[in-house]
Chains A and B, each alone.
Chain A
Amino acid sequence: MRAIIAGFKELTRYKSAMFGLFIIGLLVAISIYTVIAIPYSEAIRLWRGGEEIWREYPRNALPSWVNIFPGVNLPKTMILSTTEVEKQVQPLGGGTTNIRAVLTFDYSSNTFPKELALRFTATYQAKEPFVDVLWITPDGREFRLDTESISHEEWVLISQDTTLRRRLGNQPPEVGLFADPENPDRPLQGTYQLVLDGYVFEEGSDLDARLIIYGRVHGWAGTDDQRRDLMVALLWGTPIALAFGLFGALVTSVTSLIIAAVGVWYARWVDAAIQRITEVRMILPTLPILIMIGTFYSRSIWLMLGAIIVLSIFGSAIKTNRAMFLQMREAPYIEAARSYGASNLRIVFRYLIPKAIPLLIPSFVIMIPSLVFLEASLAFIGLGDPVLPTWGKVLQNASSGGALYKGYYYWVLEPAFLLMLTGVGFTAVGFALDRIFNPRLREI
């Protein structure tokens, strides 16, 4: 035990190990923050909850920090609601009331917004209210948007209004309504107005509207093609990846160590059986078998982890461990233990295994990222956990959503960066530990 602590202390001598430890610390901090700030149920709701949750987020928006680059000034999503302005209510007699509201906003970006939509909510008994929408640009031009009768809850997707599109000279509405007449490639900056003229036909009936000007940036991570905030998946991917890697590596290396030690000590048929199983295992193609399990049985991440552990216990690690124990078995201190009458189990667990642990630590640390990547691989070919948001799943969504073809690079790069960070962090520490604990590497 003391050797292990001393070994870890020695890590500080290696710059790469310090860097790796820093990354691991960062990932652990992110994990803890995530689990506390966004509890599991909340994360699932944000990621799987259905359209209502992310309807007002822009589709395929870039992360908002891109705006710090010079010359980049992408619009953020603006949401204006009639509940925040004063509505002028004027009874017209005969039960009809005119409700008038003006939504005013400044548009200062030099790029057009992504989409435009209006969300109406109305309270009424039988007769649907009616609304008339007028768009006024900073230079005073007016565009009449569709006139509609409104049910209790209604989305008017201005961007998909084909009549309006035709009237604007076959431009998408979010471009045509903002375009500067002198320079049609740029939006006109200034104060826009949206005048809502509503008529309700019942006593106590009311009408509200939200104007959503979808931006091109959203949050720290952007959004995917379903408008979901990628931050949720990136954050929650961290604890999942770490738990998966750590747990898998721990169980695998400890179990294969014990099996190898038992095999070496008891020799004869125990050893032979273990050797045979390892040989069979060498022939079994790991990934195809995992894929088959994922396709035929269940895609649950924990079942996959179980299968991976079972498969990797009898991997090549058992051979290296066995070679190590074969040498150790002949050591004098084992002889001494035997002569004082120590039982077989005592020798295995008290003398063989503890001695081997320092040699095991580097491979344990290096195994963590390989498991993280294995999970990402499975998720990438569509065998990811059906519920949990993981990095591999984000990558898979991105690649099947055509992120590479359509130029949504952030969508690929963000999970890829985190995966790489995990990989490099753990491997750097693992290599440094290898140099510390492996006596042959020590001299150089």
Chain B
Amino acid sequence: MFSLVVGMYLTVFIAGMGGYVDKIQEAQIREQVGLQVLGDPAFKQLPPSEQRRIIDERVELERQRLGLDTPFIRRSVGYLVRALGLDLGRAKIITSDSGSKEVRLILLERLPSTLVLFSTANLLLFFATLFLGLYLSRRYGSIADRLSVALAPLSAAPGWFYGIILILIFAAMLKVLPFGGMVDAPPPDTTLGYALSVGKHMILPVLAMFVSGFFISVYSRRTFFLIFSSEDHVELGRAKGVPNRALERRYILRPTLPTIITQFALMLIVMWMGAIILETVFNWPGLGSLYYSAIQQFEIAVILGETVIYAYLLALTLFLLDIVYAIVDPRVKVGAGAPT
């Protein structure tokens, strides 16, 4: 929890960077107010000095409304407390699809689409690589096995990179799948039609993530199982005549599960970060593409909110990891002293 607070404060601080952003915002307010006042026929007749006074007055009002008159350090603490409670205030430009400016609503609206995309891709990846890795470790030295070793370096490229290539092949050249977005425009009326349309739009982004994580995961699973299957207790099980299947499940998979889950969680964290670019490439209306547009519009409240959500997601991933650990590894007991 301590690290969450410190991390968040650092984020708030970098985002605010000692008032630089405030200045940009102030200039924006000034310009807006200026246009308003000068464009208003009621003020047209007044002498310029009077007009300037009115502009200054309104800018001051606007600044107070947005809370820009207090020093940044003080505001940053306020931001931090509210950020931790997910009470993120109101966005200045960006609105949610339902028209609200409440940052929390904007974020929550985007969260499901990101979760759908990422959980699909990650679950597919997890099970596919687990079983393929197990299969390959059984066939050490076969052509498929050597292929997995040779192809492993392909995972050096991140998901968005494969995304572009996949868009190029399937959307631009073959014209069979959409370039991006989440549903057809206009969205289909029936629930089934809607789901199918979302499914169609999901193929490429999911595939992009899958490809970028697939080769390296298969390789590392396979290597891991190979190392593990020469452990003494596995040899003993084999000597005892335990059937292969049971040997795999009980002697290999069970004890290696904590490590595999850790690796998987770490990959998940990397993927969360990649979401920003992947979703922007595919124009997927999730948290990532929101982050991108928030940054382009200097929308501090949303950027902060996003970072908080990301930090929470990371913390949550690590927390869940601990729980899963306790479930799959009987040696880990809640409340026991941490090993040093």
Q: A285-B11, A404-B167 are in contact. List 11 more A-B contacts (CB 8 A).
A: A287-B273, A288-B306, A292-B15, A297-B17, A369-B156, A373-B158, A420-B161, A424-B156, A427-B152, A428-B153, A444-B223
Of the listed stretches B187-195, B197-205, B309-317, chain A binds B309-317
Which residue of B4, B158, B276, B318 contacts A381 across the interface (Cβ within 8 Å)? B276
A382: chain B residues at CB < 8 Å are 296
B7: chain A residues at CB < 8 Å are 280-281, 283-284
The answer to whether A287 and B156 have CB atoms under 8 Å apart is no
284-298 of chain A: CB within 8 A of chain B = 284-289, 291-293, 295-297
The answer to whether A288 and B314 have CB atoms under 8 Å apart is no
The answer to whether B164 and A412 have CB atoms under 8 Å apart is yes
How far apart are the CA atoms of A269 and B219 in the complex, in Å? Answer: 39
> Does chain A have a CB within 8 A of B165?
yes
The answer to whether A288 and B154 have CB atoms under 8 Å apart is no
How far apart are the CA atoms of A127 and B311 in the complex, in Å? Answer: 71
A399: chain B residues at CB < 8 Å are 164, 281
> Does chain B have a CB within 8 A of A416?
yes
> Does chain B have a CB within 8 A of A413?
yes
A281: chain B residues at CB < 8 Å are 7
The answer to whether B277 and A419 have CB atoms under 8 Å apart is no
11 A-B contacts, Cβ less than 8 Å apart?
Answer: A284-B7, A285-B311, A291-B291, A292-B15, A296-B20, A395-B164, A404-B172, A423-B153, A423-B157, A428-B153, A443-B227
> Does chain A have a CB within 8 A of B88?
no
The answer to whether A283 and B314 have CB atoms under 8 Å apart is yes
Q: Which residue of B lies closest to A383 (CB)?
A: B295
A412/B168 contact (C-beta < 8 A), A284-B10, A441-B223 known: yes
The answer to whether B295 and A280 have CB atoms under 8 Å apart is no
How many Å from the CB of B262 to the closest CB on chain A? 10
Q: Which residue of B lies closest to A424 (CB)?
A: B153
> Does chain B have a CB within 8 A of A370?
yes
347-385 of chain A: CB within 8 A of chain B = 369-370, 373, 376-377, 380-382
Interface size class of B (residues with CB under 8 A): 35 or more
The answer to whether A409 and B158 have CB atoms under 8 Å apart is no
The answer to whether B295 and A431 have CB atoms under 8 Å apart is no
The answer to whether A404 and B157 have CB atoms under 8 Å apart is no
The answer to whether A291 and B295 have CB atoms under 8 Å apart is yes
Which residue of A276, A282, A295, A370 contacts B156 across the interface (Cβ within 8 Å)? A370
> Does chain A have a CB within 8 A of B253?
no
The answer to whether A282 and B6 have CB atoms under 8 Å apart is no
How far apart are the CA atoms of A119 and B93 in the complex, in Å? Answer: 47
> Does chain A have a CB within 8 A of B226?
yes
A284: chain B residues at CB < 8 Å are 7, 10-11, 311
232-286 of chain B: CB within 8 A of chain A = 266, 272-274, 276-277, 280-281
How far apart are the CA atoms of A370 and B157 in the complex, in Å? Answer: 8
How many Å from the CB of A256 to the closest CB on chain B? 16
> Does chain B have a CB within 8 A of A279?
yes
A381/B277 contact (C-beta < 8 A), A16-B153, A296-B14, A424-B153 known: yes
Which residue of A285, A295, A373 contacts B157 across the interface (Cβ within 8 Å)? A373
B173: chain A residues at CB < 8 Å are 409
> Does chain B have a CB within 8 A of A340?
no
386-416 of chain A: CB within 8 A of chain B = 395, 399, 404-405, 407, 409, 412-413, 416
Shortest 5 CB-CB distances between A and B: which pairs? A423-B156, A427-B153, A283-B7, A285-B310, A287-B273
Interface size class of A (residues with CB under 8 A): 35 or more
The answer to whether B153 and A404 have CB atoms under 8 Å apart is no
B219: chain A residues at CB < 8 Å are 431
170-192 of chain B: CB within 8 A of chain A = 171-173, 179
Q: Which residue of B lies closest to A290 (CB)?
A: B273
The answer to whether A286 and B10 have CB atoms under 8 Å apart is no
> Does chain B have a CB within 8 A of A20?
yes
A395: chain B residues at CB < 8 Å are 164
Which residue of A293, A370, A424, A426 contacts B154 across the interface (Cβ within 8 Å)? A424
How many Å from the CB of B222 to the closest CB on chain A? 10
The answer to whether A280 and B161 have CB atoms under 8 Å apart is no
A16: chain B residues at CB < 8 Å are 149-150, 153
B266: chain A residues at CB < 8 Å are 316
Tell me the dominant secondary structure on chain A's binding face. helix
> Does chain B have a CB within 8 A of A440?
yes
B167: chain A residues at CB < 8 Å are 404
The answer to whether B161 and A416 have CB atoms under 8 Å apart is yes
The answer to whether A440 and B227 have CB atoms under 8 Å apart is yes
A285/B314 contact (C-beta < 8 A), A291-B295, A412-B164, A413-B168 known: yes
How many Å from the CB of A244 to the closest CB on chain B? 15
Encode contact with A along B93-137: 1 for CB under 8 Å, 0 otherwise: 000000000000000000000000000000000000000000000
A288/B227 contact (C-beta < 8 A), A16-B150, A370-B156 known: no
How many Å from the CB of B62 to the closest CB on chain A? 22
Which residue of B156, B164, B172, B310 contacts A288 across the interface (Cβ within 8 Å)? B310
> Does chain A have a CB within 8 A of B292?
yes
A380/B179 contact (C-beta < 8 A), A282-B3, A293-B14, A444-B227 known: no
> Does chain A have a CB within 8 A of B28?
no
How far apart are the CA atoms of A382 and B315 in the complex, in Å? Answer: 29
> Does chain A have a CB within 8 A of B32?
no
How many Å from the CB of A27 to the closest CB on chain B? 14
Which residue of A280, A423, A424, A441 contacts B6 across the interface (Cβ within 8 Å)? A280
A285/B3 contact (C-beta < 8 A), A291-B295, A404-B171, A423-B157 known: no
Which residue of A276, A295, A404, A409 contacts B298 across the interface (Cβ within 8 Å)? A295
How far apart are the CA atoms of A423 and B215 in the complex, in Å? Answer: 13
> Does chain A have a CB within 8 A of B43?
no
A381: chain B residues at CB < 8 Å are 276-277, 280, 292
The answer to whether B273 and A288 have CB atoms under 8 Å apart is yes
238-285 of chain A: CB within 8 A of chain B = 276, 279-285
> Does chain A have a CB within 8 A of B21?
yes
How many Å from the CB of A367 to the closest CB on chain B? 11
The answer to whether B277 and A380 have CB atoms under 8 Å apart is yes
> Does chain A have a CB within 8 A of B307?
yes
The answer to whether B179 and A405 have CB atoms under 8 Å apart is yes
Encode contact with B along A308-347: 1 for CB under 8 Å, 0 otherwise: 0000000010000000000000000000000000000000
Q: Which residue of B lies closest to A409 (CB)?
A: B168
A292/B14 contact (C-beta < 8 A), A285-B310, A409-B172 known: yes
B306: chain A residues at CB < 8 Å are 288
The answer to whether B4 and A283 have CB atoms under 8 Å apart is yes
How far apart are the CA atoms of A444 and B227 in the complex, in Å? Answer: 8
How many Å from the CB of A62 to the closest CB on chain B? 15
> Does chain A have a CB within 8 A of B208?
no
How far apart are the CA atoms of A226 and B258 in the complex, in Å? Answer: 53
The answer to whether B276 and A288 have CB atoms under 8 Å apart is yes
Which residue of B2, B156, B161 contacts A427 across the interface (Cβ within 8 Å)? B156
The answer to whether B161 and A419 have CB atoms under 8 Å apart is yes
Which residue of A285, A296, A377, A407 contacts B172 across the interface (Cβ within 8 Å)? A407
